Amino acid sequence: MARVGLREWLALAPVIASGRLARYNGSEGGPLAYFEAAFSDKFDVKHTLTTSNGTGALIAALVAAGIGPGDEVLVPAYTWIATAAAPLAVGAVPVIVDIDATLTISPSDILRKITPATRAIIPVHMANMACDMDAIMKIARDHGLIVIEDACQAVGVSYKGRRVGTIGDLGAFSFNQFKNISIGEGGAIVTNNDEYFARARMYHDIGAVFRGHLDNANMPPIPGINLKASQIQGAMLKVQLRKLDPMLRRMRERRAMMADIIARNPNFRVGPSHDPAGAAGLHAIFETQDDAMAFARAQKRGVQRIHDSSRHIFSFWQPILEQRPIHPKMNPYAWTERKVQYPPDMCAASLDILKRSCRISVGENYPQPLMRYLAHGMARWGNENPGLLRPSPGYRNS
């Protein structure tokens, strides 16, 4: 999680003194334009559009891609509820897909969940752990699907040398209080597609129809809503972007060091990663949920059994599971050709993994010797508790 401090505070003063706080109305350049150009350069992507928050970025990305009523969108069983709610906001419905041991969406279950109505996949790079984007992109291209990466929880993380969020057709980011770039609330959309960018920009600003300076890629204007960011947000983002890569380097270093120490204990299974060299998140998988709970209790700080963070698990998404629309006549589930259901035994494999897994903080803002000490303590706990999962033959900690 990024820290906010004196440099952000100092960056706000010139913006406030100028009196030009809005995105437009005489302040078309300013900190937001600077941030977007710098973000595009750092992430090697053609277009960046700052939004008021990450949820808005997801919704605008779906609108940009033309997702709408009757469409099905594949989302993982482990993510913030906004990933599943965003399709509903454009009239589509979420179809929930199992995760695998990496805590990211399972490509094999994606294949099982595809129907003739499937239009898009939203892979989520949860807790700084990248999805298997090679497999996901192949599936998408083979089936003519759009990929909108939810990189809200992994801003800046790389997958095989590419930043997550830039691999699919569009990517969505969040800059809220708990993210790798933090300004309280904020978000961004990225894409290399000119038409997607033009539609996202029109949708995110209901006044776009009056702004003749915008290049809408020769597309007719569409009505939108207000998801614009302010220059106040842009000023903080300029500072936070410079902090991003040094923080990610600390995260990767600590993750590698802690995983190596823990993996020396043959009774301890470090959760796998689709790109160990770029991994910035760490988790452990246990044989039973009782072992996972015992480990979390013993460590007290920096460790959490994932199932205990219920807000990120599909089984707690009550309004989604009960298919409650915002209005009876605006019910996306009534617009699908088939009846989309969420049975009680859905995604049982995901629940099993989440109940037996613990996230381990890599302590990016703490001294590395402290995190090394804590990792050794975890390994010792493994020696003292032989009930931990013993890896199957051929398994390699990563």
Q: pLDDT (tens digit, 9 = 90+) per residue, 258-310? A: 999 998 887 788 999 999 999 999 999 998 899 899 999 988 778 999 999 87
Alpha helix stretches (DSSP H) within the chain: 6-18, 30-43, 54-64, 82-89, 107-113, 133-143, 194-204, 231-263, 289-299, 318-321, 348-355, 368-384
Number of domains in the chain: 1
The number of beta carbons lying within 10 Å of the beta carbon of residue 161 is 8
Q: How confident is the model at residue 3 (pLDDT cuts 50, 70, 90)?
A: confident
Per-residue pLDDT for 390 more than 60?
no
2-6, 324-328, 343-347, 386-390: which range is least confident on average? 386-390
In a domain, 54, yes or no: yes
Q: What is the pLDDT at residue 386?
A: 63
φ, ψ of residue 279 to 5 degrees: the values are: -65, 135
In a domain, 333, yes or no: no
In a domain, 228, yes or no: yes
Give the span between the Cα atoms of 224 and 171, in whole angstroms.
19
Summary mean pLDDT of the chain: 92
In a domain, 52, yes or no: yes
φ, ψ of residue 173 to 5 degrees: the values are: -130, 155
In a domain, 167, yes or no: yes
Q: What is the pTM of this model?
A: 0.94
User: What letter does residue 306 receive in the DSSP assignment?
Assistant: G
Between the CA atoms of 150, 152, 158 and 164, what dihedral angle is there, to the nearest 10 degrees?
Answer: 30
Q: How confident is the model at residue 27 (pLDDT cuts 50, 70, 90)?
A: low
In a domain, 254, yes or no: no
Give mean pLDDT, residues 60-66: 98
CA atoms within 13 A on the CB side of 367: 3
Q: What is the pLDDT at residue 387?
A: 56
For residue 68, with 0-12 CB atoms within 10 Å meaning exposed, 13-18 middle and 19 or more buried, which class applies? middle
Q: pLDDT (tens digit, 9 = 90+) per residue, 361-370? A: 999 999 999 9
In a domain, 66, yes or no: yes
CATH number, domain at 214? 3.40.640.10
Per-residue pLDDT for 382 more than 70?
yes
29-43, 248-262, 292-306, 310-324: which range is least confident on average? 292-306
Q: What is the pLDDT at residue 213?
A: 61
In a domain, 325, yes or no: no
Domain that holds residue 39: 6-240
Give mean pLDDT, residues 134-150: 98
179 is catalytic: yes
Between the CA atoms of 113, 114, 116 and 119, what dihedral angle is there, to the nearest 10 degrees?
Answer: 120
Query: Is the distance from CB of 111 to CB of 65 less than 8 angstroms?
Result: no
179, 228, 243, 355: the catalytic one is 179
